[in-house]
Structure 1
């Protein structure tokens, strides 16, 4: 519903989206860091941060051209260089979990390329084990269900991705649930990574590559055709192709849409331009995500506020977005059932338990621990 000025109306009975139980399926590892934590770690290791990371405001980014993407990647790499010891990893993961719990997340699948941390953490396998141990500890401490999506880098050789896929499968019983493909989708064709994704899928991992953000619908079709994607990281450019929208809806392929990120990187000029309503009305399942809060300035609940404020989503529709995030996750069935029931309770005004409530031993039985 629109106001007389043309903007969406916010009803006075709107429920608090921070209390809406939801799953978070698109959060990058370094990008989840608190700005204050980055400043402390940079001081600890003598890392000189650029002004864009110290101003207290999200940096101005526009990654729709090569220069803009390079600047974004340089800022991300600078932040990552401040993660040097196992304690830094543990702190980042615990704080990311705390932030998600505060925003109503009850299940988080955090995405990481462990090769980026391997040089300072004793190698690829030790780095992954440190990350998985940190995720397990944070999950126990906060009550948040947490798992890992291991992501290959499009900018590296496909053989490196195969190595990473084999390692991810090897540690599937330690909390790895998916295999992704990140970095600039305009470089590194999805089809070049088909064998890595075949290894991951054969090992029981969910295929969740990035596509349809900086590149158009063809990028999404390649993820579907060449990588047999079960989820698409972003996927918003599907709105440009009605046939592709129908395909995603028919196959119920979840798109991990990150509205604030899309605007910050220049994919769309303003939040109201992100085609949330187009995707939702076409029947494409959506899972709102924060992407890289460190660089984009907003976390999970803010994405739901964008849907409400800029796209006129009602509470019932926000609840459906939360349900879609749960259905698109790799959470065990009993966890899904509990979350879906609690989403219904949010909508009807019934008391909804928090992730911290569920951290009690009697409730943790519903959340199988990684072996």
Structure 2
């Protein structure tokens, strides 16, 4: 008789979370509570119909997505709100097995309410430091520019990030609708961040195809690329990513929710890793997509039959491609081996 063993819990698998947006990390319950406190009326897609049905394959769809994001941002009114968001994000990631989380924020979206971009960055850095201690995980901050704004604004944020290099800020990014703006125009901002020794982690290759991945490589010199899944459409671009050692932050539930792929089965994680590219799974915006970090591993196990060994290797990649301190990374990698050993020991056996 064959004993039946339950799959090893993916929440117990140590991993790093490298693609998490600040507002998008908010708990749904916190959004509802803060909105009620201040009398903010939320659209039904953030209340009764949550998580919302989204598609950003056209301009109207992205506008709807951005509107929901802006509404969620509006409920953060006080310093305590910011600290609560960061703490809850850290606690949620810790519960999902994260040993290191990199949270990304555009300070210009909050500066007017919190005394300017410098004051807000100070607040978030302190919140991240305290939340990491409380949750028992390591955390770093990525300052991200908005590609729908002028590239000069991005240079301002790059200088801001550079001032905090080694003091809480570990990277510089570029987000929002990648179909807008001229990617080449953001090169000078990334050069500022590069000179400061920051990780370069722009978005690219999600809403636009492999040609945009190439453009990011040529002009932004990324260490990691947010998403990058559309590189799978070009053997040449896959080869260049592998050769250059650029890792991809892949967010399966986000890709499907936004209409990049119709089903979870289509998200090309195996194609990317088979090409020699490191992949780190991320949740992107759990508030809008309804799935957190462990959920990304769970959906690959369920939809694409990823084995425990494959999931463990993805976790290793996430830790190796993080900017976690060496002791945090070493402990996380050792924990992955322990998880995998336990998973194999629990496999069905004849009896």
Root-mean-square deviation (CA, aligned residues, Å) is: 1.1
Contact preservation (8 Å) 1:35, 1:56: no
2:255 pairs, out of 250, 259, 262, with 262
Instruction: Report the more deviating stretch, 275-284 or 200-209.
Output: 275-284
Structure 2 residues not aligned, in runs of 5+: 344-351
Q: In the TM superposition, what is the alpha-carbon distance from 1:349 to its structure 2 partner? A: 1.4
- Does residue 110 (structure 1) correspond to residue 103 (structure 2)? The answer is yes
Residue 208 of structure 1 is matched in structure 2 by: 201
- Does residue 301 (structure 1) correspond to residue 299 (structure 2)? The answer is no
Q: In the TM superposition, what is the alpha-carbon distance from 1:286 to its structure 2 partner? A: 0.3
Residue 153 of structure 1 is matched in structure 2 by: 146
CA distance in 2, matches of 1:209, 1:35: 26
Contact preservation (8 Å) 2:99, 2:328: no
Runs of 4 or more, structure 1, over 4 Å off, are none
- Does residue 271 (structure 1) correspond to residue 264 (structure 2)? The answer is yes
Residue 322 of structure 2 is matched in structure 1 by: 329
Deviations 1:41-95 (A, max 9, x none): 1111211110011126210101010000000000000000111110000000000
Aligned length: 340
The TM-score, its normalising length taken from structure 1, stands at: 0.90
Structure 1 residues not aligned, in runs of 5+: 1-10, 351-371
Q: In the TM superposition, what is the alpha-carbon distance from 1:107 to its structure 2 partner? A: 0.3
Written as runs of structure 1 = structure 2, the 5 A alignment for 1:151-190 is 151-190=144-183
CA distance in 2, matches of 1:310, 1:220: 26
Contact preservation (8 Å) 2:279, 2:317: yes
Residue 348 of structure 2 is matched in structure 1 by: none
Residue 344 of structure 1 is matched in structure 2 by: 337
CA distance in 1, matches of 2:8, 2:29: 30
Residue 30 of structure 2 is matched in structure 1 by: 37
- Does residue 51 (structure 1) correspond to residue 63 (structure 2)? The answer is no
Contact preservation (8 Å) 1:150, 1:179: yes
CA distance in 1, matches of 2:298, 2:37: 36
Q: In the TM superposition, what is the alpha-carbon distance from 1:12 to its structure 2 partner? A: 4.0
Residue 18 of structure 2 is matched in structure 1 by: 25
Residue 134 of structure 2 is matched in structure 1 by: 141
- Does residue 288 (structure 1) correspond to residue 269 (structure 2)? The answer is no
Residue 227 of structure 1 is matched in structure 2 by: 220
Residue 8 of structure 2 is matched in structure 1 by: 15
Q: In the TM superposition, what is the alpha-carbon distance from 1:251 to its structure 2 partner? A: 2.3
2:63 pairs, out of 70, 76, 87, with 70
Instruction: Report the more deviating stretch, 335-344 or 204-213.
Output: 335-344
